[in-house]
A and B are shown apart, each in its own frame.
Chain A
């Protein structure tokens, strides 16, 4: 299994689009779709082949051994994340073919899109701190540009805000990496973890924890760091909103936090408590701020803040059940939040507005969008048998069984609030009396197809809750996170610890 193809295929696609497909817009879309389809298939193969490789594939990118070279590491957690990212990326790219007709410079869009996919796949696969930073910057750089893609006043403002906050916190992350390097003289994650475990952590490690929580917390949009999200995600074109809310905040935020704090630092209690607090704050504040929004996409943005809080408290509980809930909610949220953002894009495409006060009674004219939006609403509010029900139930049960009863009750109550603000969307956009906005255009077939596929996935992905499937495919992921230092132990045999020759 060549792991670097997850990085070089989208990167190559991005450059081919710029080199060959300038102004030939359908060719650009074809290249992007082909690359997305390729890495989606390969990520499924990687996920199912992984167990025959002993649960870990390590590729060194040069003739040297780690820690002297850059390594790409695929374990259960990263294989799972690859599927989530590339699934949403493929569907968003497919949706974008027709949606992006409203903009100029289609090839620009697809080139930036593929760069973002490159960055996210890189973050997931890398086994090296500095590479994590570099790939994160690649993904963020293209995200800043894509948020500003419409070049209207709001979009530019949101992109500048996002870029400012992103750049400050990325610098903080680099500072933290520098401190870690000064103590351990290595950048390989497993080696850093090994040395901290054997030599004990210095006092300065708390500064590193703080820098990383602020840095990756901002990318996750946890509450004190969430201010950019409700501006940036709605301003982007709908397929990009789906990518940003669906996978970018999870890859750069939650995945990086979990990989670093669980696998490298061994889940220090103080960090888990901080994440718990921030997660609970996100759930409550994000949920209540959503209710008062009248912009369809902005409401979805605040809802992302709230839902990402569920994922984070799942992981921060540190119990196997909590982590299972976190992983499931991460996957399910990627599906239904992408669906909802794509629905909002379809509404905007058809009526040219996303103000809920002007919409109304769309269910007769936009039948498919209305139906898929209903599915998304039911999923995100946790109505059985849709997928959101299972993940939220597991997180709430995990909270109660871990003794965090108050947080469990808060999570259950905000779930009702979620239902409330999505019913508001249903009432004001799709049902109720006719608004002032007219349906100007029909929703194109490619957009409809993607929405129907995602709505079907909202139901079908509940299948992984069947005990035998869960045991075979989900439990190894939980073990990867829970094993805390098993990540280090698995990589240790590959480490070349010889002195300089």
Chain B
């Protein structure tokens, strides 16, 4: 249980960072932290103490209750790839914004308002 609470705390750290930080790069990192916490949460769901690989094979009689759940691990792989894409895109946008405005500070990047 304590693991889940700490995982949720990590999620909140990410939300806090994304909301309060003023630097584009720090916002990207905070969104990364949120993503990691959710990935960690999914892996924690699948984890069972003392469980074994989920492989059905002759001579390897692992009961279903003693297997790790493989689905969340597949989900985490997919979501890591998606996060990679989003992070790369946002970093590219941040670089282009820096070229236009000469700053990473969002309080100074305010052409759009209202």
Enumerate B58-95 residues with CB–CB distance to A below 8 Å.
64, 69, 71-72, 75, 78-79, 82, 85-86, 89-90, 93-94
User: Closest CB-CB distance, B103 to chain A, in whole Å?
Assistant: 12
User: Does A500 count as interface, using CB distance less than 8 angstroms?
Assistant: yes
B-contact bits for A160-182, CB 8 A (1 contact / 0 none): 11011001100100110010011
Can you give 25 contacting A-B residue pairs, CB < 8 Å?
A137-B85, A141-B86, A141-B89, A144-B89, A144-B93, A148-B93, A148-B96, A151-B96, A153-B97, A156-B97, A157-B109, A158-B112, A160-B97, A161-B112, A163-B89, A164-B31, A167-B35, A168-B15, A168-B34, A174-B79, A175-B38, A181-B72, A187-B71, A289-B114, A500-B56
Interface flags for B32-61 (1: CB within 8 Å of A; 0: not) read: 001100100110010000000000100000
- A-contacting residues of B (Cβ < 8 Å)? 11, 14-15, 18, 24, 27, 31, 34-35, 38, 41-42, 45, 56, 64, 69, 71-72, 75, 78-79, 82, 85-86, 89-90, 93-94, 96-97, 100-101, 109, 111-112, 114
A137 contact from B82, B96, B114, Cβ within 8 A: B82
Let me know if A25 is at the binding interface, CB within 8 A. no
Distance (whole angstroms) from the CB of B33 to the closest CB of chain A: 10
A134 CA / B38 CA spacing, docked (Å): 15
Whether A164 pairs with B18 at a CB distance below 8 angstroms is yes
A174 to B75 CA separation, bound complex (whole angstroms): 10
Closest beta carbon of chain A to B52's beta carbon, Å: 14
A157-B45 in contact (CB<8A): no
A163 near B41: Cβ-Cβ < 8 Å: no
Q: Give 7 new A-B contacts, CB below 8 A, not counting A148-B96, A153-B101, A160-B24.
A: A137-B82, A141-B85, A148-B93, A156-B96, A161-B112, A178-B72, A182-B45
A187 vs B79: C-alpha distance when bound (angstroms): 15
Task: Give the complex CA separation of A230 and B101 in angstroms.
Answer: 21
Say yes or no: A174-B72 contact (C-beta < 8 A), given A141-B86, A154-B112: no
Are B78's CB and A168's CB within 8 A?
no
Give the CA-CA distance A141 to B64 in the complex, in Å.
38
Q: Which 8 A-B pairs have the closest CB atoms?
A: A153-B100, A171-B34, A231-B112, A160-B93, A182-B45, A137-B82, A167-B31, A156-B97
B96 x A171 contact (CB < 8 A): no
A159 within 8 A of B: yes
Does A157 contact B86, Cβ atoms closer than 8 Å? no
Alpha-carbon gap, A130 to B74, bound state (A)? 11
> Are B94 and A160 in contact, with the CB atoms below 8 A?
yes
CB of A300 closer than 8 Å to a CB of B:
no
